[in-house]
A and B are shown apart, each in its own frame.
Chain A
Amino acid sequence: MNLAQGVQVVSLGLLSLMVLGAALGVVLANNIVYSAFLLGGVFISISGLYILLNAGFVATAQILIYVGAVNVLILFAIMLVNKREDFAPISSAWIRKGVTGLVCIGLFALLSTMVLTTPWLIASIPASGEQATLLIGEHLFSDFLLPFELASVLLLIALIGAIILARRELIVNEPASGVDAGLMLPERPREGVAVGSDP
C-alpha cells in the first residue's frame, strides 16, 4: 500500500465516522436546531465521499444545492415554526421505538449480507476523473435530454406550488380596523383550528 492509498483509506474511515455520527445526531438530538446543523455536516461529509469516488462535479453540486439551498430552507422553516412545545406523551412509545429499531437492524443485516455475498463485476478500466464533467454534459444533452427538460419543468412546478401553498391569504379590499391597523395586513380568518382539538 503506497501513500495515496493510505490517505484514501484514512479519509474514507474519517468521513464514514463523520457521516454516521452526524446522522445519528440528526435523528436523536433533542434540539431541532442542532439536528439541522448536523444535517449540514452529513451533507458536507457525503460530498467528501463523492470526491473520493472521483466525482468532483457532483461533490460541488452537493455542497451548492444541499448545504446552500436545502439546509438553509430547513433552517428557515425551523425559524418560522419556532414553537417550543412539549409533545404530549403517548402510551407505549417505547414499543414503537423498539420495534422500529429491530426492523431497521434487520434491514441493515439483510442489506449487508446482500452486499457481502454478491460477486460484483468490478470494472478494470480507469475512472474518468477530470473528464467526468464533460461526460455528464454529453449525457445530459444526448440520451438524457428528455429527463433533463422534465426536471426543469418539475422545478418550475415545485416553485409555483410552494409559493401557493405557503402564502397567506390576504383580504385586499376590506379596510382594517383596530389600533395598529396600519402596521398589519388583514388576514383571512383561519379554518380548522377547532377541528384540530378533537381527535
Chain B
Amino acid sequence: MELQYFLLLAAALFCIGVYGLITSRNAVRVLMSIELMLNAVNLNLMAFSNFLDPGEIKGQVFTVFVITVAAAEAAVGLAIILSIYRNRDTVDMEQFNLLKW
C-alpha cells in the first residue's frame, strides 16, 4: 500500500480525462471527461490525506468540498448544454462557435 501507486493511478486517470476533454465532439462526453479529471484530483487528495496527514485529515474535508462543487458544476453544465441544444439543434462541439468570432 504505497502512496506512489495511488498517485500514479490518479495521474493516469487525469491524462485520460484530458484526452477525452480535447478530442470528444459530443458535448455531454466533454462533461463526463471533466468529471473524470475531478475524480483524479479527489483521489490525489485522499491519498495525501491518508499517507501524509493521517492524524488530522484535512484532505478528506477538501474532497467533500470538491464533490460539492462538482455536483453544482454538473447541474449548471448540463443546463447550458440543454439550452444550446434547444437553440442550435446539435450537440457537436465543432458547431459551437458563438463566442469564437
Hey, which bits of chain A sit against chain B, CB under 8 A?
A: 5, 8-9, 12, 16, 19-20, 23-24, 26-27, 32, 35-36, 39, 42-43, 46, 49-50, 52-55, 57-58, 61-62, 65-66, 69-70, 73-74, 76-78, 80-81, 83, 85, 87-88, 90, 96-97, 100-101, 103-105, 107-108, 111-112, 115-116, 120-123, 125-128, 132, 135-136, 139-140, 144, 147, 151, 154-155, 157-159, 161-163, 165-166, 168, 190-193, 196, 199
Q: Which residue of A lies closest to B87 (CB)?
A: A192
How far is B67's CA from A66's CA once the two chains are assembled, in angstroms? 8
Q: How many residues of B contact A (CB 8 A)?
A: 78
Which residues of chain B are within 8 angstroms of A190 by Cβ–Cβ distance? 86-87
| Most central of B14, B79, B81 by chain A CB within 10 Å | B79
| Most central of B28, B60, B91 by chain A CB within 10 Å | B60
Judge whether B43 and A135 touch: CB under 8 Å: no
Interface SS majority for chain B? helix
Judge whether B97 and A199 touch: CB under 8 Å: yes
How far is B6's CA from A16's CA once the two chains are assembled, in angstroms? 9
Which residues of chain B are within 8 angstroms of A52 by Cβ–Cβ distance? 1
Judge whether A125 and B67 touch: CB under 8 Å: no
Judge whether A151 and B69 touch: CB under 8 Å: yes
Known interface pairs A190-B86, A196-B89; 11 further A-B residue pairs with C-beta atoms within 8 A, sorted by A's residue number: A26-B32, A36-B32, A49-B43, A58-B46, A111-B7, A116-B4, A140-B61, A158-B76, A166-B83, A192-B87, A193-B87
Which residues of chain B are within 8 angstroms of A76 by Cβ–Cβ distance? 78
Interface SS majority for chain A? helix
How far is B28's CA from A82's CA once the two chains are assembled, in angstroms? 11
Judge whether A87 and B76 touch: CB under 8 Å: no
State how many angstroms separate the Cβ of B78 from the closest Cβ of chain A: 4
Q: Which residues of B in the span 42-93 have a Cβ within 8 Å of any Cβ on A?
A: 42-43, 46-47, 49-58, 60-61, 63-65, 67-76, 78-83, 85-92
Judge whether B60 and A55 touch: CB under 8 Å: yes
How far is B50's CA from A168's CA once the two chains are assembled, in angstroms? 47
Which residues of chain B are within 8 angstroms of A192 by Cβ–Cβ distance? 87-88
Pull 5 A–B residue pairs with CB atoms less than 8 Å apart, ordered by A: A16-B9, A111-B14, A132-B57, A140-B61, A190-B87
How far is B79's CA from A168's CA once the two chains are assembled, in angstroms? 11
State how many angstroms separate the Cβ of A11 from the closest Cβ of chain B: 10
Of B16, B61, B95, which is within 8 A of A136 by CB?
A: B61
With known contacts A58-B63, A135-B57, A108–B12 Cβ distance under 8 A: yes
Which residues of chain A are within 8 angstroms of B35 by Cβ–Cβ distance? 39, 66, 70, 74
Of B18, B43, B92, which is within 8 A of A104 by CB?
A: B18
Judge whether A87 and B72 touch: CB under 8 Å: no
Judge whether A53 and B17 touch: CB under 8 Å: no
